[in-house]
């Protein structure tokens, strides 16, 4: 129910906060529109005038390289004016509240906020309290969601595998702390993947993980059988507050993806990773840089998918009433 805030009265995208609450038609529309933005890479001038005169503010309360730069590039390629703020260096460190920061930016005639925040629900909170003409895009909130990452992953999967209905997808690693995994699982289920399998030690899985619509395995060797798409997750050392693992080397031995383990999956399986990679912790360099890896493709696709989502969210003004 609460996710309906993402859609306007005509069912069009207004905010993009979570995959939850969106349907297959809308997700497919995002993928289709992103496909056309990929074609733009042939242009000498890689810019379209869709968001000319609009102002987009990237509000990053948490560090990010890939996500922030691809959002910034996506906004610029849509001809929007964009400014990126790292909040650690701004007035919140002087005691200003989140809503006061938002109000002040609104007074500068902003049209869209792209928000990354360490607290789950932050983007949703801003969407609820911001002026009605402003769109909010979630660029990662706590352990809740990272929907644009999930969509660029879906885009990459479709690029290599076309149809979701026959696909078996394995998500491997730190599911417990991963907002990416949550959004991926939702997107894969909505798009109709044949199976989503999570492979992780028990300590890195949320309780009742099966209720998300996944099969669970704790053994990489048997768990990789028949898999078409392997999504590796980063071991989130900064979020580990208790002793969940014996050691990194032990983790690599059991759950690290090596060339030998990759052979258990289907021969044409692709290997994905949202980055940043911990080489030798969750993935061997030979696999990360190997022929089945599409990790850098994911990064390029991130620009097109973010362009599609920004453009679709900004079309609401005229289309709404």
Q: Which residues are catalytic?
A: 66-67, 94, 116, 146
| Candidates 16-24, 38-46, 246-254, 267-275; binding stretch for other proteins (CB under 8 A) | 38-46
Residues numbered 284 to 313 that lie near other proteins (CB under 8 A) are: 308, 311-312
Q: Are 117 and 151 in contact (CB under 8 A)?
A: no
Q: Are 264 and 225 in contact (CB under 8 A)?
A: yes
Q: Does 43 bind other proteins (CB under 8 A)?
A: yes
Nearer to other proteins, 8 or 293 (CB): 8
For every residue of 241-300, DSSP letters joined together read: -S---S-HHHHHHHH-B-HHHHTTS-TT-EEE--S---BTTTB-HHHHTSTTB-HHHHHH
Q: Is 86 exposed, middle or buried (0-12, 13-18, 19+ CB in 10 A)?
A: middle
Nearer to other proteins, 260 or 319 (CB): 319
Q: Please state, in angstroms and rounded to a whole number, the distance separating the CA atoms of residues 156 and 272.
A: 9
The single residue listed with the structure tokens 């690029």 is: 159
Alpha helices in 162-230 (DSSP H): 179-190, 220-223
Residue from 12, 66, 218, 239 that binds other proteins (CB under 8 A)? Answer: 12
Q: Does 36 bind other proteins (CB under 8 A)?
A: yes
User: How many other CB atoms sit within 10 Å of the CB of residue 159?
Assistant: 16
Residues numbered 45 to 64 that lie near other proteins (CB under 8 A) are: 45-50
Closest CB 315 distance from other proteins, rounded Å: 3
Closest CB 109 distance from other proteins, rounded Å: 15
Nearer to other proteins, 5 or 40 (CB): 40
**Buried residues in 38-67 as b, exposed as e (16+ CB within 10 A):** beeeeeeeeebebbeebbbbbbbbbebeeb
Closest CB 35 distance from other proteins, rounded Å: 6
Nearer to other proteins, 35 or 96 (CB): 35
**CA 35 to chain centroid:** 17
Residues numbered 16 to 35 that lie near other proteins (CB under 8 A) are: 29, 32-33, 35
The interface mask with other proteins, positions 211-240, x = CB under 8 A, is: ------------------------------
Residue from 42, 238, 268, 321 that binds other proteins (CB under 8 A)? Answer: 42
Nearer to other proteins, 36 or 166 (CB): 36
Q: Please state, in angstroms and rounded to a whole number, the distance separating the CA atoms of residues 155 and 142.
A: 23
Q: Does 44 bind other proteins (CB under 8 A)?
A: yes
Q: Please state, in angstroms and rounded to a whole number, the distance separating the CA atoms of residues 190 and 188.
A: 6
Q: Does 88 bind other proteins (CB under 8 A)?
A: no
Nearer to other proteins, 133 or 218 (CB): 133
Q: Does 7 bind other proteins (CB under 8 A)?
A: no
- Site size for other proteins, by CB under 8 A? 27
**Tokens coding 208:** 């009742």
Q: Which residues bind other proteins (CB under 8 A)?
A: 12, 29, 32-33, 35-40, 42-50, 308, 311-312, 315-319
């Amino acid at each position: 129910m609460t996710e309906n805030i993402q859609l306007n009265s005509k069912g069009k995208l207004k905010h993009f906060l979570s995959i939850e609450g969106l349907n297959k038609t809308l997700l497919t529309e995002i993928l289709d529109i992103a496909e056309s933005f990929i074609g733009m890479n042939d242009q000498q001038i890689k810019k379209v005038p869709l968001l000319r005169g609009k102002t987009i503010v990237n509000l990053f309360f948490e560090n990010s390289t890939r996500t922030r730069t691809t959002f910034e590039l996506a906004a610029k390629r849509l001809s929007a004016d964009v400014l990126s703020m790292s909040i650690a260096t701004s007035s919140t460190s002087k005691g200003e509240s989140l809503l006061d920061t938002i109000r002040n930016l609104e007074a500068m005639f902003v049209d869209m906020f792209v928000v990354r925040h360490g607290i789950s629900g932050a983007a949703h909170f801003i969407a609820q309290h911001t002026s009605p003409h402003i769109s909010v895009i979630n660029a990662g909130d706590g352990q809740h969601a990272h929907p644009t990452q999930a969509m660029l992953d879906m885009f990459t999967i479709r690029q290599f595998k076309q149809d979701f209905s026959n696909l078996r997808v394995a998500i491997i690693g730190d599911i417990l702390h991963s907002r990416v995994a949550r959004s991926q699982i939702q997107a894969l289920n909505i798009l109709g993947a044949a199976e989503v399998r999570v492979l992780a030690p028990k300590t890195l899985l949320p309780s009742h993980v099966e209720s998300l619509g996944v099969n669970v395995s704790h053994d990489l060797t048997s768990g990789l059988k028949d898999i078409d798409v392997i999504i590796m997750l980063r071991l989130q050392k900064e979020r580990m507050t208790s002793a969940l693992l014996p050691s990194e080397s032990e983790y690599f031995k059991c759950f690290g993806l090596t060339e030998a383990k990759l052979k258990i999956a289907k021969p044409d399986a692709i290997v994905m990773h949202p980055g940043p990679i911990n080489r030798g912790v969750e993935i061997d360099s030979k696999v990360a840089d190997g022929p089945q890896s599409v990790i850098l493709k994911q990064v390029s696709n991130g620009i097109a998918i973010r362009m599609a989502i920004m453009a679709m969210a900004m079309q609401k003004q005229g289309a709404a009433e």
